Structure 1
Amino acid sequence: MSSGPAVAGIDIGGGRKGNHLVILRGTQIVCNLRKEAPESMLEQCLKFEVAAVGTDAPCRWRIGEAGRQAESALARQRIFSFATPTRELAMASKCGFYGWMFNGERVYDTFSPHFPVFRNGGEIGGRLCFETFPHAITCAFFGKEVASAKIKGTQRREILQREGVEATSLRSIDDVDAALCALTANYLLDGKVDAYGDEPGGFIVVPRFLRSR
């Protein structure tokens, strides 16, 4: 299937790993970029007339002492992620761990003038970008008890295979995760997702299988 709007997924990495972009049209991979700057990825998304961009990175920093509602809501489902700090705490950190979150921030800053960040509620009337999370996507398809980080490469490729996406060109787990984010964008456009979170802390979007598992 090659009809329908194009969608994109971005796996965010640190300085060494970089970011990975996959663009799907239907189930066909029409673009796959590795270690490109956000501006180059945006150029490709505009070229292919992408409608929605799923991104594996926090779309908002934590505000105050309380954690983001999106992360808390997933944790109540026993789906755990890295806790997003405030931007100030991330800036003050000396360990370098939060570099990928700053890379994600740059991606959202680059994309948001053209792809506004998802706000839950109402119809989707134009282009948008949104936060998603490959482990939560895997839980949506396999169930929480089956999804495993130890075999994530196998399980996540199996999801793409089930959905009809030819994944042989995806050389790494980063490419695979970008494709899963793009797949979730298709589900979002079809209205088959759950959105966890709130406006101040942002939303995490997951295909709507999660609660039935």
Structure 2
Amino acid sequence: MRSQQTVAGIDIGGDRKGNHLVILRGSEIVCNLRKDAPEQMLEKCIEFEVAAVGIDAPCLWRVGEAGRQAEKELAQRRVFSFATPTRELAMASKSGFYGWMFNGERVYQAFAPHFPLFKNGGEIGDRVCFETFPHAITSALLRTEVASAKRKRTQRREILEDAGIEATSLRSIDEVDAALCALTANFLLEGSIVAYGDELGGFIVVPVPTGHRRL
């Protein structure tokens, strides 16, 4: 990784699993928090002078009947995700499934005043936060294999190790995913990303695929 700025990634979970934060400086994991409130995670990011934060949750709800453009574009590349509903539909759901999306909303609300949400084509200031997606990250960075849900624990750790990140301290797939989001923040600062989506539905940021990256 060329960027030596400090970056962070947050894996969003439901109320039981909670959120996980990993902060990277270069390839070194300098902070790893589990199940802390969004405000505490924000404090850590400010304390460590984080420049970019990747978040594994929708940055915006769907508007109207059409799905989010970012999710459609990824699906066209055979990278599938949970469809984000309108906020009203999520609120009306009795299943509790969308609890993690509401937790993601709270994280964005806490971070946005200090880490403005990424807008494709806009100038990135001293700080930025953005939406990303570990399965899409894995699909972009695998060299020869196809991203597999069954092999995600192995494949995702291998990607971190290929980037020079010592992943043995990451005890769960949630922490691994948070580290992948942080790794993508490095790619964003290097300008080596693809942004799927539009202003209305928000952008999902993914590293430029390995085979298309300039060395």
Normalising by the smaller structure, the TM-score range is over 0.9
> 1:51 — aligned with what?
51
Q: Structure 1 stretches of 5 or more lacking a match? A: none
Match of 1:50, SS state, is coil
> 2:151 — aligned with what?
151
1:57-86 Cα offsets, whole Å, 9 max, x none, are 000000000000000000011110000000
Offset of residue 146 of structure 1: 1.1
Instruction: Say how many residue pairs are matched.
Output: 213
Letter in 1 for 2:137: I
Q: For residues 138 and 2 of structure 1, do their structure 2 counterparts lie closer, same or farther at Cα, with a shift above 3 Å needed?
A: closer
> 2:185 — aligned with what?
185
Offset of residue 4 of structure 1: 2.2
Larger CA deviation: 140-149 vs 159-168: 140-149
Larger CA deviation: 203-212 vs 106-115: 203-212
Offset of residue 122 of structure 1: 3.5
Whether the 8 Å contact between 1:2 and 1:28 is mirrored in structure 2 is no
Q: Distance in 2 between matches of 1:66 and 1:3?
A: 37
Q: For residues 179 and 199 of structure 1, do their structure 2 counterparts lie closer, same or farther at Cα, with a shift above 3 Å needed?
A: same
Match of 2:151, SS state, is helix
Q: For residues 14 and 166 of structure 1, do their structure 2 counterparts lie closer, same or farther at Cα, with a shift above 3 Å needed?
A: same
Root mean square deviation of aligned Cα: 1.8
Whether the 8 Å contact between 1:116 and 1:129 is mirrored in structure 2 is yes
Q: Distance in 2 between matches of 1:26 and 1:171?
A: 20
1:43-102 Cα offsets, whole Å, 9 max, x none, are 000000000000000000000000000000000111100000000000000000000000
Say whether residues 1:74 and 2:74 are aligned partners: yes
> 1:64 — aligned with what?
64
Q: For residues 21 and 55 of structure 1, do their structure 2 counterparts lie closer, same or farther at Cα, with a shift above 3 Å needed?
A: same
Runs of 4 or more, structure 1, over 4 Å off, are: 210-213
Q: Distance in 2 between matches of 1:210 and 1:62?
A: 30
1:134-182 Cα offsets, whole Å, 9 max, x none, are 0000000126961100010000000000000001110000000000000
> 2:136 — aligned with what?
136
Q: Distance in 1 between matches of 2:22 and 2:58?
A: 19
Q: Distance in 1 between matches of 2:175 and 2:14?
A: 15
TM-score (norm 1): 0.96
Offset of residue 123 of structure 1: 3.2
Matches within 5 A, 1:14-93: 14-93=14-93
Offset of residue 210 of structure 1: 6.9
TM-score (norm 2): 0.95
> 1:114 — aligned with what?
114
- Counting aligned pairs with the same residue, the percent is 76
Letter in 2 for 1:76: Q
